[in-house]
Structure 1
Amino acid sequence: MDLLNNLALGFGVAFTFQNLAYAFGGAILGTLIGVLPGLGPVATIAMLLPSIYALDATPALIMLAGIYYGAQYGGSTTAILINVPGESSSVVTAIDGYQMARRGRAGAALAAAGLGSFFAGCVGTVIIAAFAPPLTELAFKFGPAEYFSLMVLGLIGAVVLASGSLVKAIAMIVLGLLLGQINTDVISGVPRYSFDIPELTDGIGFVAIAMGVFGFGEIIANLGQPSEKREVFTKDVKGLWPTRQDFKNAWPAVLRGTSLGSILGVLPGGGALLASFAAYTVEKKMGMKPGEVPFGKGNIRGVAGPESANNAGAQTSFIPMLTLGIPPNAVMALMVGAMTIKGIQPGPQVMASDPQLFWGLIASMWVGNLMLVILNLPLIGIWIKLLTVPYRFLFPAIMAFCCIGLYTLNNNNFDVFMGAAFAVVGYAFYKLGCEPAPLLLGFILGPMMEENLRRALLLSRGDWGTFFTRPLSAGLLVAAALMVVVVMLPSIKSKREEAFQDAD
């Protein structure tokens, strides 16, 4: 009964004209910045923080939240159409979504992503409303040792899901971990591996790597093909809507992705990124149905599962931020900053001291998700028009958008140069048949793993046994070890090689 009363209060707040307008504005802006390669929600929210001084707390947070989950929708659009993940959590969507676009099925891929995102967003919002208090207890149990073990599990999962050679996948992860070490040491404050370049003291930007490896690298690879083989953007597009068989294949993947995303989104350090990788791993492990397209070649489950997972994860990542004041990702850290600007102390007291803000924000997520699906499904035809543009016109436009996006990160040429350097690296990966997605996961999780490893060892006074004596941490490490054992079994290994034999 309390839940119904709280939701009634929330919808009363969300359905005021001002809050509807800000939810709509945030959703539209989020979709646009998701579609524009290089402009993610972190950069946009950071740029908009000064503007919230003139707003009340509730509309300000509703708008910023709309930008965040709107960008999850938009990021999948560029991932599917031009193989440039607009968001880190869209990296996995690009693997099969882009191949669907190449086969002339971009409309079906975008519709599967949009509908999966809408369903997962709604479920994620229900979970926030119903389970915020008990789920925060689970998050309370996660100390540095548990976070470290969770990330080990995530990296091993990335090796398992990578197409092609296991050795290449491990090499990609190790390279990502090494690139992640270029930063300032968290504990001593000393720059590491920066070679006296001031811009490297904060580390290499994720966007520069993603743009270079996926965006520029793909363009160079395409330009290396004879013009008649560049069918990517000139092929006739068939069917803007998924077929009945597509729906039949996709809906179980949507349910599984939503479940995974809802769980992982709550855990600080997990969130939308780990959820999308985990969902893709699960889909590949579910086996193939007769007549189904292989993974990595345009399987609709490879779009529906990860997209549902990253949207559910994006919604439930609000739980630790709203109830504990712990930001599980960079966007939530900015949301905490926005709450502080408005004089609100993030944490358990928000639900009691400012119920209108808490429940109004939750109700606005339902409204925003509905707006997004109503807006995005009719726009599929417009996005598809991109595919009919001749490649000679399209690739300079993509390059220009990417360079603008890179420059606007820090208003610095250095990020553009880094993107260009990683373009060469990305092309080398393409030639060597290496899957770059594990590199990105290693790069993102590496610094977080190191920080939690050192914190856990400091708290245990150097006792490595702390990772095995804590039940949750031990359970996660056992799961990681089992995953390694299973993938090394001769029967599984041969099946895996068979599945990926033509992945290149």
Structure 2
Amino acid sequence: MADFFLQALSLVSSPSVLLLILIGVLFGIVGGSIPGFTVTMAILVVFPFTFAMDPVSGVALMVGVFVGGYSGGIVSGVMLGIPGTPSSITTVYDGYPMAQRGEPGRALGIGVAASFIGTLISVAVLVYFGPLIAHFSMQFRPWEITALILFALTLVAGLSQGALLKGLLAAALGLLITTVGYDRNSNLRFDFGFPFLDAGFEMLPVMIGIFAFSQLMGNLEDLRDESRVAGQKVDTNVSIPYRRIAQDMAGQKVNTLRSSLIGSLVGALPGTGGTVANFVSYDQAKKFSRHPERFGTGTPDGIVASEASNSAVAGGAFVPTLALGIPGDLPMAIMMGVLILHGITPGPLMFEQNPVLVGAIYASLLIGAVIMVLCQLFLVRWFAKISLIPQQILVPVVLMLCAIGSYALNNNLFDVWVLFGFGVVGYLLWKARVPLTPLILGVVLGNNLERQLFRALELDSSWLTFLTRPLSALFLALALASVIFSLYQNRKIERHRREAAASHDA
């Protein structure tokens, strides 16, 4: 392992790749700093620019965006009281009050330091557990992989904010989208007589349309936060008190380690991501604190818990993506798309067939974390100004970049129409409160699910084999359990909601 990691480090340390990581980190921080832009949006915008690159350069750029994006949300959270990304919501609870009492530099410095340590710990988790899981999954056959993908989809749908049925339907729609065009036996499906549908839909325009377009339209609809910012004078002349931050972090060793491990663990679970890790870590920090009453008033404990956990998601989310070929969250689904477009299939064989690329991901995460700290500490006042960009300016620019990226995929205007077509679909689903994450994961995993399912049936035509093989049966049981648990949880939420409404009326 040491040999291929050193080889990967030499590739990543080349000036061109280091420059790409720097660009990625800067763009990720900028994307995370703008309220409503999100890490996923930043990754989707950069995605098309990786097509002409070699795999190491493309992955290094995307990892840079990933690391920068998760740390960028702290800027608008601290300076404006508006989380730049959903994964930095709890940062606002203590970061904004600390800034309001005249210590914005301290709040930002604590957050950046916690993000850096969280990323380092998550890389250690990835390096240790990734190969172990990959080695274990080497015994997976088509039956186990099919059942694992179904479990991942049901788990993601079950975590869709109480909308289990909508989540399952969204996942099914994502799988249906991948069936357009020729199947593995060269049979044409769902082309409706249109020649341009023979090749099916490209993954990138579909993902950008479903998520980015709907997100941008939603941002234009809701400009209340922006109007609040417009009438608020924000002091961007921030200075970082390095000595005070070092003292704060010295008393946060246990909190930082616990929050980083929570972020890594939650990141490794399909369909969770930084937002879930954020709330879980903040809750645990409050429960273990000697002074829980200080949370929400500007305590360093809350900022550390929030930022260490959401940055630690990065390494944790790579574990199932690389080892099993199952994206841990939405940004990981896009990262998996980068690898697939470069002809690399994530999964257990990746550690044997592409060890240098795996090592490049490790090295890019480490280098990206160092660059992130330096950029945040030296350029924070500029990032604070960027967070004030109005949505009316931002949305057209991002849409234009998305359209150019989709066209550049195949130099095909049809891909641009696919982007806008699925953008309308995504926007309508968003309006109907249908979760989009299961849909996008269905698009990413659909081809692999079909391939593994048919391979399993070719080897043994009996469907009972899925139940007689222990691991396959286990994953199917877990899928069923996730649906049942979600139904129970939804009923519990509805009961509490009715009781609250009844007490309010009384």
Normalised by the length of structure 1, the TM-score is 0.67
Tell me how far 1:457 sits from its aligned partner. Answer: 1.5
Structure-2 residue corresponding to 1:406: 406
Tell me how far 1:439 sits from its aligned partner. Answer: 1.8
Structure-2 residue corresponding to 1:464: 463
Gap change, CA 1:27 and 1:104, over 3 Å in 2: same
Gap change, CA 1:220 and 1:204, over 3 Å in 2: same
Structure-2 residue corresponding to 1:296: none
Work out which of the residue numbers 19, 24, 30 in structure 1 matches 2:24.
30
Check whether the contact 1:121–1:315 (CA below 8 A) recurs between aligned residues: no
Gap change, CA 1:72 and 1:161, over 3 Å in 2: same
1:143-197, Cα deviation, whole Å (9 max, x unpaired): 2111111111111112221124333223322222222222421x21233223344
Check whether the contact 1:154–1:278 (CA below 8 A) recurs between aligned residues: no
Aligned residue identity for 1:21 = P
Aligned residue identity for 1:259 = L
Work out which of the residue numbers 47, 58, 64 in structure 2 matches 1:70.
64
Gap change, CA 1:285 and 1:204, over 3 Å in 2: farther
Aligned residue identity for 1:308 = A
The CA distance in 2 between the partners of 1:497 and 1:95, in whole Å, is 27
The CA distance in 2 between the partners of 1:469 and 1:253, in whole Å, is 40
Tell me how far 1:131 sits from its aligned partner. Answer: 5.9
Structure-2 residue corresponding to 1:140: 138
Check whether the contact 2:89–2:275 (CA below 8 A) recurs between aligned residues: no
The CA distance in 2 between the partners of 1:360 and 1:438, in whole Å, is 29
Structure-1 residue corresponding to 2:15: 21
The CA distance in 1 between the partners of 2:114 and 2:271, in whole Å, is 12
Does residue 313 of structure 2 align to residue 313 of structure 1?
no
The CA distance in 2 between the partners of 1:378 and 1:496, in whole Å, is 48
Tell me how far 1:438 sits from its aligned partner. Answer: 2.1
Gaps of 5+ in 2: 32-40, 77-83, 287-291, 297-301, 326-334, 502-506
Structure-1 residue corresponding to 2:217: 220
Structure-2 residue corresponding to 1:46: 51
Structure-2 residue corresponding to 1:433: 433
Check whether the contact 2:60–2:361 (CA below 8 A) recurs between aligned residues: no
Structure-2 residue corresponding to 1:90: none
Gap change, CA 1:41 and 1:391, over 3 Å in 2: closer
Check whether the contact 1:279–1:309 (CA below 8 A) recurs between aligned residues: yes
Instruction: Identify the range of structure 1 (477-486 vs 104-113) with the bigger mean alpha-carbon deviation.
Output: 104-113
Structure-2 residue corresponding to 1:180: 178
Structure-1 residue corresponding to 2:37: none
1:102-131, Cα deviation, whole Å (9 max, x unpaired): x99799999999767755653454356556
Q: What secondary structure sits across from 1:433 in the alignment?
A: coil
Tell me how far 1:233 sits from its aligned partner. Answer: 6.5
Tell me how far 1:466 sits from its aligned partner. Answer: 1.9
Aligned residue identity for 2:262 = R
Report matched runs for 1:446-465 at 5 Å: 446-459=446-459, 461-465=460-464
Gaps of 5+ in 1: 50-59, 83-92, 265-273, 294-298, 322-327, 339-344
Check whether the contact 1:257–1:308 (CA below 8 A) recurs between aligned residues: yes
Aligned residue identity for 1:257 = G
Tell me how far 1:27 sits from its aligned partner. Answer: 0.9
Aligned residue identity for 1:464 = W
The CA distance in 2 between the partners of 1:159 and 1:358, in whole Å, is 29
The CA distance in 1 between the partners of 2:494 and 2:224, in whole Å, is 33
Structure-1 residue corresponding to 2:264: 258
Report matched runs for 1:94-493 at 5 Å: 95=86, 97=88, 118-119=116-117, 121-123=119-121, 125-126=123-124, 130=128, 134-185=132-183, 187-224=184-221, 231=227, 234=230, 236=232, 252=258, 254-259=260-265, 261=267, 275=270, 277=272, 308-314=312-318, 329-333=336-340, 348=352, 366-376=366-376, 378-379=378-379, 381-459=381-459, 461-489=460-488, 493=491
Aligned residue identity for 1:395 = V
The CA distance in 2 between the partners of 1:435 and 1:481, in whole Å, is 20
Check whether the contact 2:154–2:483 (CA below 8 A) recurs between aligned residues: yes
The CA distance in 1 between the partners of 2:358 and 2:200, in whole Å, is 35
Instruction: Identify the range of structure 1 (374-383 vs 469-478) with the bigger mean alpha-carbon deviation.
Output: 374-383
The CA distance in 2 between the partners of 1:13 and 1:172, in whole Å, is 38
Check whether the contact 2:155–2:482 (CA below 8 A) recurs between aligned residues: yes
Aligned residue identity for 2:475 = L
Check whether the contact 2:262–2:281 (CA below 8 A) recurs between aligned residues: no
Gap change, CA 1:470 and 1:334, over 3 Å in 2: same
- How much identity, in percent, do the aligned residues show? 24
The CA distance in 1 between the partners of 2:73 and 2:406, in whole Å, is 17
Structure-2 residue corresponding to 1:267: none
1:285-331, Cα deviation, whole Å (9 max, x unpaired): 899679999xxxxx99898756533443337856689xxxxxx9444
The CA distance in 2 between the partners of 1:392 and 1:286, in whole Å, is 35
Normalised by the length of structure 2, the TM-score is 0.66
Instruction: Identify the range of structure 1 (373-382 vs 437-446) with the bigger mean alpha-carbon deviation.
Output: 373-382
The CA distance in 1 between the partners of 2:108 and 2:95, in whole Å, is 12
1:264-293, Cα deviation, whole Å (9 max, x unpaired): 5xxxxxxxxx64536766777899679999
